[in-house]
Amino acid sequence: MSNEFDYTKLKHVTSVDQSDRAVPYNLRQSGPTKVEMLISTRVRKSPYWHLSMQAGCWRATVYNRIYHPRGYVKPEDGGAMVEYDAIVNHVTMWNVAVERQIRVKGPDAEKFTDYVITRDATKISPMRARYVILCNAYGGVLNDPILLRIAEDEFWFSLSDSDIGMYLQGVNADGRFDCKIEEIDVSPVQIQGPKAKALMKDLCGDQVDFDNMPFYGLAEAKIGGRSCVISQSGFSGEAGYEIYLRDSTLYADDMWNAVLEAGKKHSLMVIAPAHHRRIQAGILSWGQDMDQQHNPFQCNLGYQVSLSGKGEWAKKGDYVGKAALEKMGAELKDGKKPYKLQLVGLELGGKPIEEYAPDFWLVSPESGGDPVGFITSPWYHPEKKQNIAMGYVPFDGTLNANGFPKGKVGTKFKVHLPEKYSNTPGTPVDAIVVDIPFKESFNANTREVVKG
């Protein structure tokens, strides 16, 4: 097999200090690689896979060991930015069945859940959800799911891209918690965009009071005659909901087609998860913006962990990672730097980035020289007419008003963009640290603490 590009010339970047990671990020700049993804039986097809194909899906990736649609509008027809227009002006549906649902059910369900998350599970009321994180014993972020409390004795972990189901079963391998932990046949879709509420009202009628439904509120409803749980939440900064279909391998067509039919008058469009819009909202993507070797403080999730022993988590008992996280919190308070790199928001130059980045693009000091960091999530912001990104740069010890780490706004860097996006090939573009989010979200608390 011949390649147009000589990949033997690629160099691994060693100047970025990743000495606090056992497995460093691969910073070789390989660019797009012309390969065909093999569809095989060892990776699962979700119940909506064939429906995504009918909707025009032309590319996919793998997420949670399930094939994940990641594009419907082809580049020659406008690509991802056509999908962006749909989510900011109308309403969209996403196949996100890759968010595996792990159910914890039984007398000790609350006690177990409280032990594996950093937040206080006892403060989550039945038929409410929360954004939470699970950490390992070293303080690394294992997953950042939406946690749904279906009943007093039942929780669903709606997973991001790491297989927490087996981990949770391992935590309780000795049976010390009286609960059952298993994946269930529930698959979600997301309904996102300014017309989302109008669409959901048409779908559910008087089954759900959407006008008084709180953010992260849950409701039971039938859609297409099938049992669903609805959450007011989503992986974007737009108004939105998630529909969790029960027995989804049996009833995927019924629910999906009901949404399509009701969506006609609202200009509904089936699109890929709107990473352009979630980047604007500062929403992280596990495996891209953080992983199990990042602690919550360095990826802007410190608010999920108590630093001072005050506030929401002050009375929370033991949980996985507590000792390591408290140690890091104490070091930060004392002006120390317990890790190397901090996630920051950046505005940067160059031609509009209107596609997923195939590499973690490199970041150098403003004065030039060897790279010291890397970009994780870049995209073009149409309203700002500006490229934006999240990425890691050396942690300088800056804390915000609440005592959580952040990047120092105004710090300047250079970003090494590929030739496709560079104004002058071979010359890095200017970048500056800015506050996150880059655009106000419809739901201001999309990834912040929500009481009650």
Q: What is the CATH number of the domain that holds 18?
A: 2.40.30.110
Domain range enclosing 417: 1-35+340-440
Q: Say if residue 322 is in the same domain as residue 360.
A: no
Q: Say if residue 125 is in the same domain as residue 44.
A: yes
Q: Say if residue 317 is in the same domain as residue 351.
A: no
Q: Say if residue 249 is in the same domain as residue 319.
A: yes
At 332-382, the pLDDT tens digits run: 989 999 999 999 999 999 999 999 999 999 999 999 899 999 999 999 999
- Between residues 309 and 25, the one the model is more confident about: 25
Residue 449 forms part of a structural domain: no
| Structure tokens that stand for 450 in this block | 């929500």
Residue 164 forms part of a structural domain: yes
Q: Say if residue 203 is in the same domain as residue 347.
A: no
If you average pLDDT over every residue of the chain, what do you get? 93
213, with CB counted inside 10 A (0-12, 13-18, 19+), is: middle
Asked whether 306 and 316 are in contact (CB, 8 A), the reply is yes
- Between residues 368 and 416, the one the model is more confident about: 416
Q: What is the mean pLDDT of residues 76-83?
A: 97
Q: What is the mean pLDDT of residues 173-186?
A: 98
Q: Say if residue 142 is in the same domain as residue 210.
A: yes
Q: Say if residue 331 is in the same domain as residue 361.
A: no
Q: Say if residue 311 is in the same domain as residue 387.
A: no
At 229-243, the pLDDT tens digits run: 999 999 999 999 999
Give the helix ranges, DSSP H, for 184-247.
Answer: 196-204
Q: Say if residue 323 is in the same domain as residue 399.
A: no
**Could you tell me the CATH number of the domain that includes residue 319?**
3.30.1360.120
Residue 286 forms part of a structural domain: no
Residue 19 forms part of a structural domain: yes
Q: Say if residue 227 is in the same domain as residue 102.
A: yes
Q: Which whole-number Å values give the CA distances from 294 to 273, 289, 342, 343, in the listed order?
A: 24, 9, 10, 10
Residue 412 forms part of a structural domain: yes
Residue 328 forms part of a structural domain: yes
| Residue that finishes a domain, picked among 320, 337, 354 | 337
Asked whether 193 and 246 are in contact (CB, 8 A), the reply is no
Tell me 336's DSSP state: -
Q: Which whole-number Å values give the CA distances from 131 to 64, 417, 451, in the listed order?
A: 18, 33, 12
Q: Say if residue 106 is in the same domain as residue 28.
A: no
Q: Which whole-number Å values give the CA distances from 87 to 81, 92, 262, 322, in the listed order?
A: 10, 6, 17, 39
CA 4/CA 23 separation, integer angstroms:
30
Domain count for the chain, please give it: 2
pLDDT of residue 178: 98
Residue 365 forms part of a structural domain: yes
